[in-house]
């Protein structure tokens, strides 16, 4: 029914969305509802705010990662080669619209699970928690997020740091949709830029 490329995309999208569904189901047992932190569809001003925060945050993180990737550090250079190999294997056959779909599904599934469920559960234990009370939940969700991206030790560390930033954003705004959009924007920028750079390299 699906071609080879579409099968890969469908598998990846379903896996990411299943993570979000698992978070919602587990939340029923833990007394946590990740969806309560998502702006309702009829709140257009709230959605616009989430979109602006998410897009700016994702762009800033993508730019920071691009700058970090060119640092003359051996572990960073080695990581860049590993990432390039992974991107070439997984993403090269996909079109830009497919990359955008994949990025959005990753933002939805992973943010609902790591921020909405794990961090949300910790935040629910304390009424109006301050930063220091939330910090253990931030760290746990970020570390879990890091180990969910095991390309290399360096990548786990970088993913954990990104997870900390997403977690702080969630704590500061209480807006899970902004985190979803920030994550999706970051992935989309990185993937589409990589796709564009590959086409430019071939053309030249």
Taking the C-alpha atoms of residue 102 and residue 142, their distance in angstroms, rounded to an integer, is: 21
Token duo for residue 43: 């709140």
Instruction: Supply 94's token pair.
Output: 């996909």
Residue 92 has pLDDT above 80, yes or no: no
Other CB atoms closer than 10 Å to residue 99's CB: what's the count?
19
Task: Characterize 50-83 residue by residue with b for buried, 16 or more Cβ atoms within 10 angstroms of its Cβ, and e for exposed.
Answer: beebbbebbeebbeeeeeebeeeeeeeeebeeeb
- The reported pLDDT for the residue numbered 68 is 77
Mean pLDDT of 72-95: 71
Rounded CA separation 179/168 (Å): 10
Q: What is the pLDDT of residues 47-75, one digit of tens each?
A: 999 999 999 999 999 999 888 777 776 76
The domain total for the chain is: 1
CA 105 to chain centre: 9
CA-to-CA distance for 8 and 121, rounded, in angstroms?
A: 33
Model confidence pLDDT, tens digit, residues 102-155: 999 999 999 999 999 999 999 999 887 789 999 999 999 999 999 998 877 878
* Domain around 155: 4-203
**Burial class of residue 10, CB neighbours in 10 A (0-12, 13-18, 19+):** middle
The predicted structure's pLDDT at residue 2: 45
Is the predicted pLDDT of residue 170 greater than 70, yes or no? yes
Question: Mean pLDDT, the chain, as a whole number?
Answer: 87
The tens digit of pLDDT for each residue in 16-59 reads 999 999 999 999 999 999 989 999 889 999 999 999 999 999 99
């Amino acid at each position: 029914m699906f071609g080879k490329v579409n099968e890969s995309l469908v598998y990846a999208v379903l896996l990411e969305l299943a993570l979000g569904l698992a978070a919602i189901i587990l939340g029923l047992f833990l007394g946590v509802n990740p969806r309560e932190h998502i702006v309702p569809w009829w709140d257009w001003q709230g959605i616009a705010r989430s979109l602006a925060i998410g897009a700016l945050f994702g762009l800033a993180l993508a730019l920071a990662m691009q700058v970090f990737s060119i640092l003359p550090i051996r572990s960073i250079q080695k990581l860049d080669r590993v990432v390039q190999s992974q991107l070439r294997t997984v993403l090269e056959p996909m079109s830009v619209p497919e990359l955008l779909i994949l990025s959005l599904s990753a933002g939805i599934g992973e943010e609902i699970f790591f921020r909405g469920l794990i961090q949300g559960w910790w935040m629910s234990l304390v009424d109006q928690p301050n930063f220091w009370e939330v910090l253990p939940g931030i760290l746990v969700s970020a570390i879990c997020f890091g180990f969910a991206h095991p390309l290399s030790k360096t990548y786990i560390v970088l993913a954990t740091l990104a997870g900390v930033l997403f977690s702080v954003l969630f704590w500061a705004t209480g807006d899970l949709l902004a985190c979803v959009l920030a994550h999706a924007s970051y992935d989309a920028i990185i993937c589409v830029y990589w796709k564009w750079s590959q086409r430019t390299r071939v053309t030249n």
